[in-house]
Structure 1
């Protein structure tokens, strides 16, 4: 049956069908279990400040948490309570423990494994509900556990009271409160999901940590979970023991852990955790409380204000927490207590210097990266509170990109003569753990140079040239285009001309020579396409990769001398246009959705117009407007082949913005902001949510929140585009730059670009496969720029450069890899170079005078092409294609605007 379907319906529809079947099977198995929550006995509904709290009478677990301002909305999965009322399914209000008595081994205890009615306790004063949880815990537990819902200072608090009832010391090696909020998207339309569901993101920052729970549409109200008593946010553990089926429609639940030593010694042994694992000893008869506070916010932008109101530390890093070694970063800390000292781990990884205090009372520090890799700053405050801030120190961006290109075009350069699938020459997928090229994989695309998981490497190699062209690398890519891309990956003749195949690798052992396929690879899955399936051109998501390759080569051929030699620029631009048109002709079903890297189609259109290719430009624009009008008709216009996705938004925003569909652009942007958090942790700051692509593009295959998968780089494009329209909105710059630098944060010291970083505390490392990383690098390549702005409280700030203030004049040395884009926010001035690079920009805020310093020419770049936005001053240079043509010299050139 599966083989029959595989040849007759799009593979992703098959995948969704199979996953839906699996999910239904899991749900049916859950449904068959006996109900244990005694829902028929009813509920207690309680007014709790900004919330209406609904509790199951028998268990006193949370059946609903409704904001008073939107009474029909529930932060919890209460809509599935009748299905999830079984043993082992977790609810808000549950508790997980790992305990041991000295000399014994760790033992697990949880309130979810075997339900039984809890003993309700009398309430008084500010206590809303209380229960002794002994009936739902094993008899041998050496602790008494009581749970209280109470009001404190106007906010809802959930508190667990633990008492050592034994005659021995008890070590609490793990204590976690499962954060059960409604992120189950299964069975929901996009409209329903945006109305009913939430995402949640952790700041794993110890005493200053928090969990932000956000509605999908990004408009609030949102929920902020804060530590109230002894609930340092030490670790964030996936609750894999909950049988709710995890899939592309359910990321899974996680728990907030105040102690994690027991896991660090066992399940997570040998893995460097975000925070130092701790435990707590309870003496006989000793009582200890663990509590969380629930606070409502109007939306993600209000979070710093709410944190200050709640007397919590607020941190802001510039340009973020991915820290190139040549960047003089800033860190602003605001809290009501003095800082006693900093602790940096590994020792010497960062240099932190005090630079004063802002008008609002924020303490300002300069932070410089000294040692490559992850580092942790622990801030010790006078009241004993500890805050951890997590940095990832990388090489200077220029070196990162250079290493990336070198790795791709040496270690990943595949030129095996006689390859039966005609993949030579190419940049092929790579297994970093095995240190080998991936020429076979059970997922055809991984070894087949197409789809995201297979095209990612050669796409990254091409996009690297846009940022930092290298003649030897370009020559190899010319061979790839002529010998492999055009005619092998992409059809060069017939009715499917310009169509892009799903893979050039396939599994048909009966038609191939003996020994072609590795017997150790499992080719018995749906992903092992036969030739007919691999040749299918109906998946639109493959077309932007190819169009981007042609577009980059056009730019290099058009704006550099002698760098590209195999075809004239006209050939490349037309190939890009033809590929964009072919997507709609040959892959119309998926073309209705926003495409990852779809920004390239807008860039192609702009270049067609610059070249006065009027007929092609009008055709492409009309086709894209047809798609944009379709999106305009939808409430949430960024669907995809998946039930919910985080990559279509990029192109949907860009075309909606281009055609003036401002309402849909705003809807799209708000949704992006809902899943791209801003927080003092490099892994989550600007990290666009994605949790299923380790299945399709990774080596370690599982449902798991991915750290800086390609969505980070791609979704930074619309965020920063919108910021340039609204430069007063610093929040957008923080989000966008977090995603931008997140796109290169996982590249290794020697230049390997992995699919993403694993967030599970049992792993916390990059994936071993290159996978679909190239799409993320596309986001960096087209979007990398230096941003200069002035904040009323924090002064002059540079993202992508080092800022110096001299006699009230501003000097910024650029630190980006390409050094070809600058946005000067006070003047709303967008400066770009099609060729040439900036070294420095000088700005006089009083006079508005801007001076640019351009770097010297090189062999292939004798001329710079400068576009200077809406400047009124006419520069003394010839204009070509809308840009000033500036002759470069052996030394730097100064240009005054």
Structure 2
């Protein structure tokens, strides 16, 4: 116990040291610079119906931007203004340009690089403030730049007027407006961060694009930045030259780019951009305006209404923008103008069919994915406005999951003899770029089968079996669970036998044979744990992976025939229980926080009660209640080892909901919705915010918004759970399903599951390392389902299936990989199968009649176990552990409910 406490304390001190160093680094990079904004000269303040605007007098950059209804709240980092008043630190109101003349080289210009007081201009009418920015730009710039702050009804407008002042043509190859909002979390408690900070998400949809700026608590008011004249949202560039250090407390700033050709030809060369990079040429004396409008939305769900009010196109994709090839998806476009044309890139990647116009004026299209990979749909409306909608086309879900399992159990299957760390047999981390297994890494856990970055691969392999079991794969995995997981990853010495190690791999050169460690790897960092550090069992985040593995083996041995041999079902379920209890005993510090995959603890509890293991169940429930009671007493119970996190919300919601702490469950849900947007772009739709885990689980290691990291799959669990409680809230379904399909969107054509996709425009591709992806696949495996709903305007909709509607009746063909869960929203009916698969479901809205079609039996599934929640339905079948046991036949069978 002394050693355990020692290493838990050491790890905490390491994190504190990192965060303290980071905070010191933050100040040292900035405070040593001279102040240049001349804050002592004062400010200019303005009121509009919706906003309170404060400008620095000397620079006329934004010092504060507040909603009129909440004047004490500031969307910008105004609380850091006395620190961030230096050259090269961006503020809202700055502009970046890259310009060339007569075919010369691109040259960069920025109003933030070396500041001087700007020249105020006369104002009149709707112009609040204006300035000529020439003084704060280099003297050789061949254009003049004037900036105007204006009103447009209730809204605020920022306009830049650019004039070619030279005698030659000027080509603007990059034009970016820094979006400087308050996402700096450094030094903030969780309560302070949720009250004071925002996150923002881009929709790079050209003239129909916009930026969502949302408060962390998710309750609004929220800010929309939408394009005006010439302000196409073409690219979203990270401002890496801003000296504010990017870290676990600061994701970094980005800029809205109207033109990006100059970057595409240089720093981004070779990366496939979201949109075609453009430039514009100004002849001598020509001027061009670039305009942004700032608009408030009272609630995240009202963003489509606000867009419509501002005469912007409103897009709804069903089931989202990740489209399996066997799904007939739908696209609804609502705009004041009709569609003039579509363009699909790559050619033939998508097919569209016009269906009908809804009662609210939306045009409905059927969308079919034809070519695997990214696809861009460019919509041109009759008024000339262009909009891009970004899709990811994947194989049918069943094929994606099959490929995933095959890759894990072949390419990543590690069964080398005489491994000094006893990792064989197992599924080990993989480097997709090098096409080889990762048996060594400077981060011990990556090669050590534990923590998220090392456990991810074997966890994904086990979770794949839950929804698509394969006998040959399971024979390998049973060896892993019985031989490597039990006794190696888990301690097996006396009372600590259920403790989970931080890593099986460690760096201890004095104790290992010569040549054990690669001399080209830097093992001098804190992450290269020695053996005693790797054996530490005090990190609670390692326990859910192990508990999930035991739980899956229990489910397969209990509800299937002949898939698992050698051990009885209860050995696996009891080990899942003991592992969960061990977490609360051996890792109490981190167990006070919500865990990624913490949903599995609730699933284990439910099965303990079903099996009549009441003593274990009562004990587990009491332990979980103690944790939930602690969360209930916190305003925002989303802590972790990080200052802010998107990991714990999943489990916090699960137990808050289970114990009836509805207010805390709602607080949790709203926080999730604040960082999990609904946007017509596969990469951001349902993408739960995560921006530091490339450091811990990626190959390309940097702070960067991660596209569909494991947070997408995990946070989709509470969102879809809440939808089943409030099926009238279609926004929840769109959000949750975006995260659900996002969780499998990055799996390659041959089945490799990467840590995440890189969002920087210099990259825009998957990471090369498998990393912690398995946690995201856990979210998919336990949450995948088909949702059938009916919208007053859009009609019958299916998420996870193909719908055939006939008036009040609909039939849905099930297309998910598991095909074992169906929710019928109009009837609030939740149908789940512990074994067996749905082929299709019919529902009559008028009578409430449900008819399900089950697939024929197979060698391992002679019986289907059906659960019905949401209605008092009685079927003529025997009940087993609360489920109807239905003997399957050689043919499909239909059952009326």
How far apart, CA to CA, are the structure 2 residues paired with 1:11 and 1:81?
34
Q: Name the structure 1 match of 2:470.
A: 470
Q: Is the 8 A contact 1:457 1:770 kept in 2?
A: yes
1:31 correspondence with 2:31? yes
Q: What residue number does 1:205 align with?
A: 205
Give CA deviations for 1:675-719 in whole Å, capped at 9, x if unaligned.
Answer: 000010000000000000000000000000000000000000000
Residue 173 (str. 1) matches residue 173 (str. 2): yes
Deviation at 1:736, TM superposition (A): 0.3
CA contact (8 A) 1:6 1:526 kept: no
1:488, 1:504 within 8 Å by CA — same for their partners in 2?
yes
Report the alpha carbon displacement of residue 23 of structure 1 after superposing the two structures with TM: 3.2
Corresponding position of 2:400: 400
Shift of 1:482: 1.4
- Aligned residue for 2:853, secondary structure, equals strand
TM (normalized to structure 1)? 0.99
Match in the other structure for 2:68 = 68
Contact 2:29-2:244 within 8 A present in 1 as well:
no
* Cα deviation code 1:712-751 (max 9, x no counterpart): 0000000000000110110000000000000000000000
Please tell me whether residue 651 in structure 1 is matched to residue 651 in structure 2.
yes
Aligned to 1:517: 517
Deviations 1:790-824 (A, max 9, x none): 00000000000000013642110000000000000
Match of 1:324 in 2: 324
CA contact (8 A) 2:7 2:536 kept: no
Residues 113-132 of structure 1: pairs in structure 2 closer than 5 A: 113-132=113-132
Secondary structure in structure 1 of the residue aligned to 2:400: helix
User: Structure 1 residues 111 and 643 mapped into 2: Cα distance closer, same or farther (>3 Å)?
Assistant: same
Identify the residue that residue 140 of structure 2 maps to in structure 1. Answer: 140
CA contact (8 A) 1:478 1:566 kept: no
1:48 Cα offset (Å)? 2.5
Partner of 2:191: 191
Length-normalised TM-score, structure 2 = 0.99
Aligned counterparts of 2:12 and 2:58: Cα–Cα separation in 1: 43
Write the distance in 1 (CA, Å) between the matches of 2:846 and 2:576: 45
Q: Which residue of 2 aligns with 1:341?
A: 341
SS of the residue corresponding to residue 52 of structure 2 reads strand
Matches of 2:871 and 2:239, distance apart in 1: 56
- 1:102: Cα distance to partner? 1.8
Residue number in structure 2 paired with 1:413:
413
In structure 1, the residue matched to 2:746 is 746
Contact kept in structure 1, 2:94 and 2:112, CA below 8 Å = yes
Q: Does residue 1:543 correspond to 2:524, yes or no?
A: no
Residues of 1 paired with 2:13 and 2:512: CA distance?
28
Q: Does the 8 Å CA contact 1:724/1:825 hold for their aligned counterparts?
A: yes
Offset at residue 483 of structure 1 (A): 1.3
Describe the superposition over 1:294-321 as per-residue Cα deviations: whole angstroms up to 9, x where unpaired: 0011021110000000000000000000
Q: Secondary structure at the match of 1:577?
A: helix
**1:504 counterpart residue number:** 504
Question: Partners of 1:390 and 1:747 in 2: how far apart?
Answer: 17
* SS of alignment partner, residue 145 of structure 2: strand
- 1:843-862 matches, within 5 Å, as 843-862=843-862
Match of 1:80 in 2: 80
Structure 1 CA distance, aligned partners of 2:400 and 2:10?
38
**For 1:473-484, what aligned pairs fall within 5 Å after superposition?**
473-484=473-484
Q: State the SS of the aligned residue for 2:433.
A: coil
Measured in 1, the distance between the counterparts of 2:873 and 2:622 equals: 35
Task: Tell me, yes or no, if the aligned pair for 2:319 and 2:734 is still in contact at 8 Å.
Answer: yes
Whole-Å Cα distance in 2 between the matches of residues 437 and 205 of structure 1?
Answer: 39
Q: How does 1:213-612 map to 2 (within 5 A)?
A: 213-612=213-612
Alignment check: 8 A CA contact 2:489 2:501 kept: yes
Distance 1:344 1:47 in 2: 44
Give the C-alpha shift of residue 103 in structure 1.
2.2
Q: CA deviation at 1:6?
A: 9.5
Kindly state the Cα deviation for residue 237 of structure 1 after the two structures are TM-superposed: 0.2
Measured against aligned partners, the alpha-carbon deviations of 1:514-567 in whole angstroms (never above 9, x if no partner) come to: 000000101010000000100000000000000000000000000001110021
- Residue equivalent to 1:14: 14
- Deviation, structure 1 residue 190: 0.1
Aligned to 2:637: 637
Structure 1 residue 108 displacement after superposition? 0.3
Measured at CA, do residues 12 and 856 of structure 1 come closer, stay the same or move farther in structure 2, by a change above 3 Å?
A: farther
Unaligned runs of 5+ in 2: none
| 8 Å contact from structure 1 (residues 695, 703) kept in 2 | yes
Who is 2:805 aligned against? 805
Per-residue CA distance 1:44-93 (angstroms, 9 max, x = gap): 11113311100000000000001110010000000000000000000000
Q: What root-mean-square deviation, in Å, do the aligned CA atoms of Structure 1 and Structure 2 show?
A: 1.1
User: Which SS does the other structure have where 1:486 is aligned?
Assistant: helix
CA distance in 2, matches of 1:638, 1:269: 40
**Matched residue of 2:641: which SS?**
coil
Structure 2 residue 760 is matched with structure 1 residue 760 = yes
Secondary structure in 2 aligned to 1:63?
strand
Inter-partner Cα distance in structure 2 for 1:9 and 1:844:
60
In structure 2, what is the equivalent of residue 663 of structure 1? 663
Are residue 795 (structure 1) and residue 822 (structure 2) matched? Answer: no
* Structure 1 residue 351: Cα displacement: 0.4
Residues 1:851 and 1:410: Cα distance change in structure 2 (over 3 Å): same
Shift of 1:847: 1.5
Q: Match for residue 785 of structure 2?
A: 785
Q: Distance in 2 between matches of 1:485 and 1:677?
A: 37
- Answer yes or no: is the 8 Å Cα contact 1:27–1:245 preserved in 2: no
- How big is each residue's C-alpha offset from its partner over 1:815-854, in whole Å with a ceiling of 9 and x where there is no partner? 0000000000011000000000000001122211111000
Distance in 2 between residues matched to 1:209 and 1:415, nearest whole Å: 50
Shift of 1:22: 3.1
Structure 1 counterpart of 2:686: 686
Q: Secondary structure at the match of 2:618?
A: helix
- Change over 3 Å in CA distance of 1:26–1:357 after alignment to 2: same
Match of 1:90 in 2: 90
Whether the aligned pair in 2 keeps the contact of 1:49 and 1:156 (CA below 8 Å) is: no
CA shift, 1:495, in A, is: 3.0
How many residue pairs match? The answer is 894
CA contact (8 A) 1:677 1:687 kept: yes
Contact 1:6 1:14 in 2 (8 A): no
Rounded Cα–Cα distance in structure 1 between residues aligned with 2:624 and 2:848: 39
Structure 1 counterpart SS, 2:600: helix
Q: Deviations over 1:369-389 (max 9, x none)?
A: 000000000000011100000
SS at match of 2:376: strand
Secondary structure at the aligned position of 1:620 is classed as helix
